[in-house]
Amino acid sequence: MAFEGLTDRLQKALTGLKRKGKVTEADLRDSLREIRLALLDADVNYTVVKEFIRNVRDKANGAKVLEGLNPAQQIVSIVNDEMVAMMGEEAVSLNKAPKIPTVIMMVGLQGAGKTTTAGKLAKKLKDEQDARPLMIAADVYRPAAIEQLKTLGAQIDVPVFDQGVDVDPREIVRAGMALAREQKNDYVFIDAAGRLQIDEALMQELADIKAIAQPDEIMLVVDAMTGQNATETAQGFNERLGLTGITLTKLDGDTRGGAALSIRAVTGTPIKFVGQGEKLTDLDVFYPDRMASRILG
Ligand code: GDP
Atom of ligand 1 nearest to the CA of 221: 3
Task: Indicate if ligand 1 lies below 6 Å from the C-beta of 194.
Answer: yes
Give the confidence band of 17 by pLDDT, cuts at 50, 70, 90: confident
Q: What is the pLDDT of residues 212-257, one digit of tens each?
A: 999 999 999 999 999 899 999 999 999 999 999 999 999 998 888 8
**Nearest CA, atom 27, ligand 1:** 278
Of the candidates 241, 167, 160, the one whose C-alpha atom is nearest the C-alpha of residue 202 is: 241
Q: What is the pLDDT of residues 75-134, one digit of tens each?
A: 999 999 999 999 999 999 999 999 999 999 999 999 999 999 999 999 999 999 999 999
Query: What pTM was estimated for this model as a whole?
Result: 0.96
Task: Indicate if ligand 1 lies below 6 Å from the C-beta of 116.
Answer: yes
Residue list for the binding site: 108-115, 249-252
Task: Indicate if ligand 1 lies below 6 Å from the C-beta of 275.
Answer: yes
Contacts 24+ apart (CB under 8 A), 92-100: 92/245, 92/270, 92/272, 92/286, 93/272, 93/285, 94/121, 94/217, 94/245, 94/272, 95/216, 95/217, 95/244, 95/245, 96/216, 97/216, 100/184, 100/185, 100/186, 100/187
Atom of ligand 1 nearest to the CA of 120: 20
Query: In what side-by-side order are the strands of the sheet with 271-275?
Result: 160-161, 133-138, 187-192, 102-107, 217-223, 245-249, 271-275, 283-285
> How large is the ipTM?
0.99
Task: Indicate if ligand 1 lies below 6 Å from the C-beta of 253.
Answer: yes
